[in-house]
Structure 1
Amino acid sequence: MNKKAPVLVLGGTGKTGRRVARQLTESGWTARVATRHSPQRFDWRDESTWAAAVDGVEAVYVVDEQSGDAAGLLSSFTKVAVHRGVRRLVLLSARLLEQWAHDPSMFGAENAVRDSGAAWTILRPTWFAQNFSEDRFLREDVAEGVVVLPDWQGVEPFVDAEDIAAVAVAALTEDGHDGQVYALSGPRLMTFGDCVALIEASSGRRFRRVAATREEYAAHLLGRGYSQGYADFANEMFDEIRGGRTAYLSDGVQRVLGRAPRDFSEYVAKTTWLFE
């Protein structure tokens, strides 16, 4: 790729996007951060913002709109992007799709990238370690010292968002990743209780653990201001963990970076924990 050309980072202020932008800059690339509220404005619902965002760009980090029509919007965007010279797309997807391989409708965003005519790489990470400190549905519980979950026994190989970003930067700027699907996980399987215990040890704060039924957890999220649709989706994700369908490691970090993924304990040690 042409190092003089900026790399477009959609969702560039989000959990992975801002890390992708920072790591690109640290590596000597120019990151063009684009969101609805950034100087380089980009809005999935406003096609008039697309052309300016991709002008002069050869590679794009894609975080889709994550709505019911996200795949259609992404397909339309890729046509604009490729027409204006974009040669490479790196899409943030999810490893959870591996559990839903029987349902082709779940792969709309991935297919939009595959069919774009550009070189593509797809990233499928597990649950982010940073969900405990940066995602509202867990961060608020941690901040209050009472963690409510519908499952405390199932295991998940939480991945550090820094590793996701490092893999994305490699795929955006290096050769050898075109046409690859990288499933990304952390180095070990952990329960949510294991994660909370490490946060306790690092922060010196004790947490009350509350085991909720699916209905109680949905009510908990509704009380936080989430929609019923989000509550249902969250319960479905926990069902996958409870059923053991996510209880395996993936080697995408090792394949791309040539090292083991960061452990959850490394994330905890580097995080400033805020409590009410």
Structure 2
Amino acid sequence: MNPHTTLIIGKHGKTGRRVNAQLQRAGYQTRAVSRSTLPAFDWQSPEGWPEAMQGCQSAYVCFQPDLAIPPARQAISNFIRLAREAGIHHIVLLSGRGEDGAQQAEQLLINSGLNWNVVRASWFDQNFSEGFLIESIMNGQVALPGCDIPEPFVDAEDIAEVAFACLTKPQLNNQLFEVTGPELLTFSDCVGIISCAIQRPVNFVPITITQFLQALRHQGLADDELWLMNELFTVVMDGRNSHTTQGVEQALGRQPGSFRDYVLRTVASGAWAHAKETS
């Protein structure tokens, strides 16, 4: 067992649990934390961070709900300061493409004097099976704004593998990897691919951002998450990210997985097995 210990912020997150699993399979010690672990890690309670950090030499950091929200910059600044005091010397930060707030947080890490990596990712494939869209897929109808903006959706497995490489290969230190999938697809395209794969109708319904936010508010979404959704669907989804990058290939020496590959793998896992038929 490698004596080096990596702190994983977001034990149960889409990428955090995958990075943790890859490190453990490779024989690395990890401390994967969340609000429910002991020690606990809560972005709203920095007084508990030093205990979580103690004895770790590196960290994979996924900020919740997203680096784009205004409070993220101060939280990341505090995290870097406390990590340095705790003896952490390398931080790999998950970031988002085209997000001004996220890029401000990235610069704090880049200028921190620590070894760093930024994994700047496009929209996750797994939002359709592990995130906010799974219920819509299961119910046979996805209603979203911005339906005509293409996005190079990326597989969380690829994101995690890039993060794993950054944490375990010193030659990759101090680099930013912007990771995307290999092709541009709209949300409507993605829903159509899923519908064909599960052999059940899933309808895509374009709506306005006002209708979208109103529905989320009725579901009880917190204010910062409502702000984030508005930012993502009105600012970030303006076409600025409608191009692919070579980040996965640069880090791993291979092409990223396709959305269709992700869908076939997800169908095989049974994640959408109980999708409801629409009338």
1:186 aligned residue = 181
- Answer yes or no: is 1:130 the counterpart of 2:130: no
- Runs of 4+, deviation exceeding 4 Å: none
What is the deviation of 1:126? 0.2
Consecutive unaligned residues in structure 2, runs of 5 or more: none
Q: How many residues align?
A: 268
After superposition, give the CA deviation of every residue in 1:121-167 in whole Å (9 maximum; x if it has no partner): 1111000000011112x122112111101132220000000100000
What is the deviation of 1:38? 1.3
Correspondences of 1:116-265 after superposition (within 5 Å): 116-136=112-132, 138-227=133-222, 230-240=225-235, 243-265=238-260
1:54 aligned residue = 53
- Tell me how far apart the structure 2 counterparts of residues 235 and 36 of structure 1 sit (CA, whole Å): 26
Q: 1:258 to 1:205 in 2, by over 3 A?
A: same
Q: 1:74 to 1:265 in 2, by over 3 A?
A: same
Preserved CA contact (<8 Å) 1:75 1:116: no
Preserved CA contact (<8 Å) 1:93 1:125: yes
What is the deviation of 1:228? 5.8
Preserved CA contact (<8 Å) 1:7 1:59: yes
- What SS class does the counterpart of residue 216 from structure 2 fall into? helix
Q: Scaled by the length of structure 2, what TM-score is found?
A: 0.88
- Tell me how far apart the structure 1 counterparts of residues 184 and 76 of structure 2 sit (CA, whole Å): 33
Q: Which amino acid aligns with 2:11?
A: G
What is the deviation of 1:195? 0.8
Preserved CA contact (<8 Å) 1:58 1:88: yes
- Tell me how far apart the structure 2 counterparts of residues 68 and 242 of structure 1 sit (CA, whole Å): 18
What is the deviation of 1:89? 0.4
- Tell me how far apart the structure 2 counterparts of residues 125 and 228 of structure 1 sit (CA, whole Å): 24
Q: Which amino acid aligns with 1:31?
A: T
Preserved CA contact (<8 Å) 1:149 1:217: yes
1:3 aligned residue = 2
- Tell me how far apart the structure 2 counterparts of residues 132 and 117 of structure 1 sit (CA, whole Å): 37
1:41 aligned residue = 40
2:84 aligned residue = 82
Q: Scaled by the length of structure 1, what TM-score is found?
A: 0.89
2:31 aligned residue = 32
What is the deviation of 1:83? 2.1
2:275 aligned residue = 275
What is the deviation of 1:200? 1.1
Q: Which amino acid aligns with 2:3?
A: K
- Answer yes or no: is 1:110 the counterpart of 2:106: yes
- Answer yes or no: is 1:96 the counterpart of 2:91: no
Q: Which amino acid aligns with 1:244?
A: G
Q: 1:80 to 1:237 in 2, by over 3 A?
A: closer
- What SS class does the counterpart of residue 109 from structure 1 fall into? helix
- Tell me how far apart the structure 1 counterparts of residues 56 and 184 of structure 2 sit (CA, whole Å): 39
After superposition, give the CA deviation of every residue in 1:188-243 in whole Å (9 maximum; x if it has no partner): 00111221111112212211221112222222222332246544542442335764
Consecutive unaligned residues in structure 1, runs of 5 or more: none
- What SS class does the counterpart of residue 128 from structure 2 fall into? helix
Deviates more, 1:226-235 or 1:147-156: 226-235
- Tell me how far apart the structure 2 counterparts of residues 161 and 40 of structure 1 sit (CA, whole Å): 26
- What SS class does the counterpart of residue 64 from structure 1 fall into? coil
- Tell me how far apart the structure 2 counterparts of residues 58 and 229 of structure 1 sit (CA, whole Å): 31
- Tell me how far apart the structure 2 counterparts of residues 135 and 270 of structure 1 sit (CA, whole Å): 16
Q: 1:241 to 1:115 in 2, by over 3 A?
A: closer
- Tell me how far apart the structure 1 counterparts of residues 171 and 23 of structure 2 sit (CA, whole Å): 18
What is the deviation of 1:27? 1.6
Q: Which amino acid aligns with 1:115?
A: N
- Tell me how far apart the structure 1 counterparts of residues 181 and 2 of structure 2 sit (CA, whole Å): 30
- Tell me how far apart the structure 2 counterparts of residues 154 and 113 of structure 1 sit (CA, whole Å): 31
Q: Identity over the aligned pairs, expressed in percent?
A: 36
